[in-house]
Amino acid sequence: MTEHPVFTWVENVCVIYFSIEYAMRFIVAPRKLAFARQILNVIDLLSIAPFYFELLLWICGISGENVRKVRWAFLTVRLLRVLRVIRIAKLGRFSPGLANFALTIRKSKKQMQMVGIVMMTVVIFFSTLIYFLERDEPGTKFTSIPATFWWCVVTMATVGYGDLVPVTVAGKLVGSGAIVCGVMVLALPITIMVNNFMQVVKLREEQIVKKYAQQHGDQV
């Protein structure tokens, strides 16, 4: 599979534009280190890094089929090509909705940490139970406790792909308990996150009103 030349030219033009934009903002930034450490600026840098890495490999004579012969270069190029998806995060700079969502996640990090710890504990618990209940069944896919983590996460999220299914009565009861616990764990931080989102939206609206008042000299 090869890339269409039109898309290649479009990508090259976009990368050059983003590179000039990033360089100009870096030059005029009063605090270079603080500028480089900002999340959005890190995303901007990562979004253009794959292009320059592939260009460096091409200069060194590693391109096309030669990349596959150099294992580390091939894996690095593949990883950096996946990082191109990061460019979509640049929309957060121009979308108030995405910016509000990012601020809400940042403000709710303690609740997210709590959910992560509880989920990890419950996943280990139910995975251990289901493994010991199902491991002796003929043709079972529950071959180990870590392999059962996937089933537990999918079950607790109420997705249920059906690739791993308990067949014993006790296993089905444990699966039902995992579903109920998953719903409860995932529902706990929703109210807090909604409240944080409303606070973020209200704060941004106040900032907009204050900025408007400063520009027009009105008293709000």
Q: What is the pLDDT of residue 124?
A: 92
Q: What is the CATH number of the domain that holds 78?
A: 1.20.120
Residue ending a domain, choose from 72, 94, 116: 94
The rounded distance, in Å, linking the Cα atoms of 140 and 151 is 13
Q: What is the pLDDT of residues 12-62, one digit of tens each?
A: 888 888 889 888 988 988 888 888 888 778 877 877 877 787 777 777 766
**179-180-184 Cα angle (round to 5):** 115
DSSP run (H or E) holding 158 = none
The rounded distance, in Å, linking the Cα atoms of 126 and 108 is 27
High-pLDDT (> 70) share of the chain, %? 80
Structural domain span for residue 26: 5-94
Q: Report the number of distinct structural domains present in the chain.
A: 2
> Are 174 and 126 spatial neighbours (Cβ–Cβ below 8 Å)?
yes
The rounded distance, in Å, linking the Cα atoms of 60 and 22 is 26
Q: pTM to 2 decimals?
A: 0.59
Residue ending a domain, choose from 64, 94, 124: 94
Q: In angstroms, how far is CA 148 from the centroid of its own chain?
A: 23
The rounded distance, in Å, linking the Cα atoms of 137 and 168 is 8
Per the domain annotation, does 100 fall within a domain? no
**148 shares its domain with 88:** no
